[in-house]
Amino acid sequence: MFLPAVVIISLFLPWTILCDKYILVSNVTTVDNGEKYCNAHYNTSLASIHSESDNTEAKRLCVSDCGNSTPCKKACSIGANDKQKERWSNKTGWVWNDESLFNYTNWKDGEPNDWHGPDRDGEDCSLIWSRDHSDGGTWNDCPCDGSGKYEQRFLCNAPPTTSPTSTPTNDPSINPTGTTTEYSAIY
């Protein structure tokens, strides 16, 4: 049976799941590489979580049913970090990669703990445990470079949408904002 080239190519691409706030990317990689991927493919950063409902949505997306992704991890990288100033003993003071306000946390009890220690390249990045992990929805600090066992799938912030206005324009233009039209004379 012959499959079209598009289908064959798509078998080798990472799968993604998109919701209102986040994009789950199936690639298993380091936190730093996840950030680069979000920026390159969506012009966004790793997920920033600002409320309990955001956290619930992130936990829901981060499932451990990874399909053919190996190894399958029960966590997803998110964008909280303390790279600029070590905060291993302080649950506040972390920052989001996208520089948005760090106004919500859901650290697992005893986290962040910079397990590798503040004098080494410790745990300066973060992950959220998946919904089917015993600590589902809670956060853990982890190495940014994937050292140890910390390479996992990741959540990107969804790019902003440009929705049409809810009310019609009184004086619409021929070319909607952001479009151009070339006219050619017909003789």
CATH of the domain at 98: 3.10.100.10
- Round to whole Å and give the CA distance between 126 and 87: 13
- Flag whether 54 is in a domain: yes
- Flag whether 23 is in a domain: yes
Q: Across residues 79-92, what is the average pLDDT? A: 74
**Total of domains in the chain:** 1
- Flag whether 82 is in a domain: yes
- Flag whether 176 is in a domain: no
- 123: domain range? 14-157
Two structure tokens written together for 161: 């949408």
3-state secondary structure of 16: strand
- Flag whether 172 is in a domain: no
- Round to whole Å and give the CA distance between 109 and 113: 10
Backbone angle region of 30, left / alpha / beta, with phi > 0 → left and psi within -120 to 50 → alpha: beta
**E strand or H helix at 75:** strand 75-78
- Flag whether 63 is in a domain: yes
Q: pLDDT for 24-70, tens place per residue?
A: 998 889 999 999 999 999 999 999 999 999 999 999 888 755 555 44
Q: What's the pTM?
A: 0.73
**Residue that wins the pLDDT comparison between 112 and 3:** 112
- The predicted structure's pLDDT at residue 31: 94
Amino acid at 73: K
- Flag whether 53 is in a domain: yes
170 has a pLDDT exceeding 70: no
- Flag whether 169 is in a domain: no
User: Phi/psi of residue 61, each to 5°?
Assistant: -70, -35
Q: Across residues 74-103, what is the average pLDDT? A: 83
What CA–CA distances, in Å, run from 93 to 26, 65, 81, 104, 138?
29, 33, 9, 11, 17
